[in-house]
Chains A and B, each alone.
Chain A
Amino acid sequence: MNAEAEGFARFVETRERALQRSAWLLTGDWGLAEDLVQTALTRSWPRWELIRRRDDPEIYVRRVLLNTWRTWSRRRWRGERASAAIPDGAAPGDVATEVAVRVAVRGALESLTARQRAVLVLRIFDDMSEAQVAQVLDCAVGTVKSTLSQALAKLREDPRLAELMTFDAR
């Protein structure tokens, strides 16, 4: 295996889990998330040598992933969604609790616009800087800041998250 292929393999092995988790937060569906990541990596591999010379290949791959997601969202089905009925009798550490959190978070994220969801996932979940998020989304840093503020304001009012979070008094 040459150096380029080794580098790509190393990137995939170390980053595919994180990419899939981000993709799940965007799509709400594991099958779709895996397809999204597979597609983004498949499109990136032929340009890997060029990408490698950039500062951060992760930015490029995430940009391809986000653009692909936006294209698919306009065209495709959105996958199955959990019903509003949460299984009875949730208990700490139980699978029902995990399901309840997953249902609440997924539902809350669905209430955001595509851009708000993307900024939230990249900035909060993936812990990218505002500058990095702006590079991925190809927008200004100011846009990232204002979009994040709008997303957080919306989530602060979301009843699905209200039971799971505590907010500071304002």
Chain B
Amino acid sequence: MQDMEAQLRMLMNIAAGDPPRRVDPDSVRRAARRRSAVHLAAAAAIMILGGAGVALASQSSGPAAPVTGGQPAGPPRYYIVQSFSSAGLSQPTVRATATGAVTSAVRCPWRRPGVAVTAIAPARNMSFFIACQRTAKTGGKPVIKGTRIFRFWISRSGRPAHYSAVRGGELPGLQVIELAAARDGSKIAVATVPAVTQSPAPADIVVISTATGAHAVWHPAPKVAGKVWYGAHSISLTGNGGELVFLAQPRCVRGTNAPPCKVNGGEEVRALSPADRGGQITSSRLLLKQARIMRTSLDYINAALISPDGSTLTLAVVGSGQGLGSGFVRIEQVPASTGTRPRIVYQMNTGNGFLYRMFGSDASGRFFLLDAGPSSGSVNGWIDHGQLVRLKPAAGENLRAESW
């Protein structure tokens, strides 16, 4: 082999590295059987129905579990957790789900001082997107310089590998306060505010195509006295990034001599289409009004996640209940097409009041993380058939972010 070819082979060897996951022969044979079973079932159905032309429906009467398409039966083998520390944001660690053992740490491949992970979002095949924020001291005060988005995979041994910078993921002068990813990794969504912002501010929603780096930006509408206004939070994307879903809390903007404005129905779950290439958040369409499925005065929707196939909304709801000592945290699922008839996936009775810190799901939309509990302290775990299975660290108060 010529010298150049030998060097090229060496470089390709380094670049290719190790696959993050193995392909196993049993899964291949199962997939092949499913392919032929689908064809056989379709043919048999036509024969049974005698060509009556009735379409077979596969949906159950209630909200269906999200389509997973051949996913493993159990939860993800690893999860990533980031805690608060006295020095600020700690380095996220990778832990084994089964034992809680720390297998590695996640770091930002951005070689500047003052860089820390501020958001994590899962995509398929144990890949993750992270937002890395750089803070520098100016005049003795910390100043946020900007954010970059990276992607990496977790290997079978629980180690992050194959870090790469996401095209379009350089966000100078911006803080990322939320990060979501399409399961297929084709798009990510960030809720951003200017880096100089100190207090809560309405966020822009930016959807980034990871293939081209193109940005589609939605801004909050201007606040006009006498009009209804809302911002967006709790963002999530469908599996191919075709739809972005968020929570909104409509409010009347008050003003002297402004006409009266009425808001009812409580919180809303709304959707934007990245194909629209941006605009105002108020161009979104309504999926669900809180009042249709729960009381609006004492209960709140803290998080809303859309399933990868776009069929199901999973809501994290908190409330004080009907009387003293009736606090609760509840996870419900609702069909995205109707926004009604919720199905309870999990309920925790928290007594007097509640603590809620975080709710999220893995990329398949099947396995949910929850950090919530009574006022005395929250519990960190994942929801398994209506039970909360604890994860380490068990005490949830110190957690800032968790993902799998």
Contact = CB atoms under 8 A, between A and B. Distances in A.
B111 interface: yes
B25 A80 contact: no
Interface string B3-33: 1110111011111111111111111110110
B209 to A, nearest CB: 8
B356 interface: no
A138 interface: no
Question: Interface majority SS on B: helix, strand, loop or mixed?
Answer: mixed
Interface stretch (A35-43, A50-58, A66-74): A35-43
Given A12-B25, A42-B35, A98 B14 contact: yes
Nearest to B210: A80
B165 interface: yes
Contacts of B169: 83
A41 B32 CA distance: 9
Nearest to A13: B25
Contacts of B360: none
Question: Interface majority SS on A: helix, strand, loop or mixed?
Answer: helix
B127 interface: yes
Contacts of A9: 25-26
Interface in A1-42: 5, 8-9, 12-13, 16-17, 19-22, 24-25, 29-31, 33-34, 37-38, 41-42
Contacts of B184: 31, 77
**Considering the complex of A and B, which 5 residue pairs feature the smallest CB-CB distances, nearest first?**
A80-B210, A89-B111, A105-B15, A20-B19, A9-B25
14 contacts: A9-B25, A12-B24, A13-B25, A30-B153, A31-B123, A31-B185, A37-B23, A38-B23, A41-B28, A46-B32, A82-B167, A83-B168, A99-B109, A152-B4
Interface of A: 5, 8-9, 12-13, 16-17, 19-22, 24-25, 29-31, 33-34, 37-38, 41-43, 45-46, 77-83, 85-90, 95-96, 98-99, 101-106, 120-121, 124-125, 127, 152, 155-156, 161, 164-168
